[in-house]
Structure 1
Amino acid sequence: MRRLLIATAVTLAAMGGLFGLARSDAAFTAKTTTAAKFTAAPAFSSGGLYGWGDSSSGQTGAAASGSLTAPTAVGSATTWVRPVAGAGFACAPRTDGTLWCWGANGSGQLGLGDTTARTAGPVQVGGATTWTAVAAGRQHACGVRSNGTLWCWGANASGQLGLGDTTGRTAPVQVGTVTKWRTVTAGTAYTCGLRSDGTIWCWGAGASGQLGLGTTTNRTAPVKIGTTTTWNAIVAGAAHTCATRVDGSLWCWGENAAGQLGLGSTATKLSPVRVGTGTWRTVTAGGQHTCALGTDSSLWCWGANASGQLGLGDTTDRTAPVRVGSGTTWRTVTLGAQHSCATDTGNAVWCFGANASGQLGLGDTTGRTAPTELPAFTGRPIGAGPEANTTLAIG
């Protein structure tokens, strides 16, 4: 038995994470903040794209329908970086700055100027070659370009595109005129972004307090959370949000019925609340669960656990962070609707949780309550999303 380690989602660090690195190069390493004992994040490398799990709308990129129970190559390109999955669709940039999306498109979430699904594989979004990151919600997507501009498209009934209205868009539209966006993350029907000045801005659905603005009001344009200018990274779940600061502290807010905020209760929070007193390297959010890596590369998870998505060997919800095993070689983690996957320092991929669509990549549809290593497959960044039953990886 090699090691019982790791989990999945978004490795967020000083300049961003899997849901949005405002960097034009393929490899990225977070800066080290000695005052916070902040550990550098791993480099994100380019490579071939692989998908598995639910492919009913072609969202794996490797099958036009049905499900895939094991990692399957998406075409032959080897320049993919940082893939993300929404509800029935997915997107990923390449090292040349192009952006590609595929799958369901009923709300224009693929950004291709229409509402026609693409089930045959990735299709390039426009002709721009300056995309550095992309985030996927339920039926909308947003991306950052190398000049620091933010663009959104797809469903907009709650104002999740940040364009000041509730009209959907089928192609990317710039959000305001700000050129300081560093990262972006998307939940079910809301969006948050981190700017280069260390401020966080959120917009869209706010009924569960997921915007962190102290109210439950929807917002159709970006609104700044408080006055803090030391935010370091941010990630959105279905209706809850978590972020780290440069001192390594972790803060969460929003919907909390399953304890996904990690605060020891199930009370909803309308503004950021600190999770414990420790310091953290990365955090990622799923449908109703959250996982994070400690500065020692240990893995911790909390929230909903009916499918074993916390990796703790049972199906009991947790309202505060609980350590997954005793390993300290976890590298990245990404979360889906009810499943989790992670990589270790050897690039082995481990998955756990719901598996009805084969989203664990283990060759079957049997769920797992503890991290289980994918056979004969190594991955670098892996991507899913709070609405996804699909997993993507760079291999």
Structure 2
Amino acid sequence: MPDEPLETPLEINIEPKRLAMTSSWSAGVKDDGTLWTWGTDGLLRDTKTGQDPTPRQVEGVNDAVAVSGAGHMLLLRKDGTVWGWGSNSHGEIDPSDGDIFIEELRQIKGIENVVDIAAGEMDSIFLTNNGEVYVLGSNEGGWVNEIPKQLIIPTKVPNLSDIIRIEFRNGVLLALDKKGELYSTGKSERALGRLLYQSQEPEIEYHPAAKVALPKKTIDFSVTSTSAMAVLEDGSVWNWGSNSSANLALSDSEDIKMPEKIHIYIRL
């Protein structure tokens, strides 16, 4: 089917994250604010065998808004606080605690008025109600601030403002602002979709946040460690990043450094 413009522009998708998973357990948030878990390890409840494949409610949580998971799990509550459990190997939940796994819900200190969350393998990402983005955790390669040291307090990501939604995977952060403009930052060059800043220090993997070159307003997006995609307001889909297995639906098997439109048509 040939590309056609949509009659009405699509609305930006800022729905909260209601389902999340780590390598060993999953969590879900229902409309009534309850938290449910299933799997192994981080269930926050007693089990007969240490695992449970059936989703069951976690007692004491009735104000949940969103969850996000990777090596650990983040929980956003209605009061704008964020709580975490699971892996703490890089201080992504509580850098003052030397335990590498936190088994109970624990509030993350130093951050409030949060409206969106994203858990990475070694970092926790927070979006506040004033449109700013903060990071706690490994900061591998100095991807946040060009200083390759662990972030022991939530640290603001430069060059991001008026942000309304974030997504993060393995050191790649995408952030959407109020105008529908998409920004990228992180340590993976292939998934950034824009011209790159080159640090003079070889151990630094810092590319400050900058706009992804897309022709129209972004209404939805997704990212992996090596590639990303965006749906624009006209319904077109654009991809960039690693394309070694033609996974970007583009004929060329080489990496796509800048966003390219794929020839499918979505009517939502």
TM range (shorter): 0.7 to 0.9
Question: Which residue of the partner structure matches residue 334 of structure 1?
Answer: none
Distance 1:166 1:135, change over 3 A: farther
Instruction: State yes or no: 1:323 paired with 2:255.
Output: no
The alpha-carbon deviation at position 179 of structure 1 amounts to 3.9
Structure number with greater Rg is: 2
Question: Deviations 1:318-355 (Å, cap 9, x if unpaired)?
Answer: 122122224143xxxxxxxxxxxxxxx2xxxxxxxxxx
Question: Which residue of the partner structure matches residue 150 of structure 1?
Answer: 82
Separation in structure 1 between the aligned mates of residue 50 and residue 245 of structure 2, nearest angstrom? 30
Question: Which residue of the partner structure matches residue 385 of structure 1?
Answer: none
TM-score by length of 2: 0.82
Question: Which residue of the partner structure matches residue 184 of structure 1?
Answer: 117
Instruction: State yes or no: 1:86 paired with 2:18.
Output: no
Distance 1:209 1:324, change over 3 A: farther
Question: Which residue of the partner structure matches residue 274 of structure 1?
Answer: 211
The alpha-carbon deviation at position 208 of structure 1 amounts to 3.3
Distance 1:208 1:132, change over 3 A: same
Distance 1:94 1:314, change over 3 A: farther
Question: Which residue of the partner structure matches residue 57 of structure 1?
Answer: none
The alpha-carbon deviation at position 227 of structure 1 amounts to 6.8
Question: Which residue of the partner structure matches residue 66 of structure 2?
Answer: 133
Question: Which residue of the partner structure matches residue 40 of structure 1?
Answer: 11
TM-score by length of 1: 0.57
Distance 1:327 1:86, change over 3 A: same
Question: Deviations 1:79-126 (Å, cap 9, x if unpaired)?
Answer: xx8322332432211112111222242xx4x44489x75342223233
Instruction: State yes or no: 1:310 paired with 2:248.
Output: yes
Unaligned runs of 5+ in 1: 5-37, 46-80, 330-344, 346-395
**1:208 touches 1:270 (CA, 8 Å); kept in 2?**
no
**1:240 touches 1:253 (CA, 8 Å); kept in 2?**
yes
> What is the aligned-residue identity percentage?
22
Match of residue 224, structure 2, among 286, 303, 307: 286
User: Number of matched residues?
Assistant: 255
Question: Which residue of the partner structure matches residue 183 of structure 2?
Answer: 251
Separation in structure 1 between the aligned mates of residue 66 and residue 193 of structure 2, nearest angstrom? 28
Distance 1:42 1:113, change over 3 A: same
Unaligned runs of 5+ in 2: 4-8, 199-204
Distance 1:177 1:126, change over 3 A: farther
**1:161 touches 1:175 (CA, 8 Å); kept in 2?**
yes
SS at match of 2:154: strand
The alpha-carbon deviation at position 237 of structure 1 amounts to 0.9
Question: Deviations 1:24-43 (Å, cap 9, x if unpaired)?
Answer: xxxxxxxxxxxxxx842369
Separation in structure 1 between the aligned mates of residue 46 and residue 95 of structure 2, nearest angstrom? 17
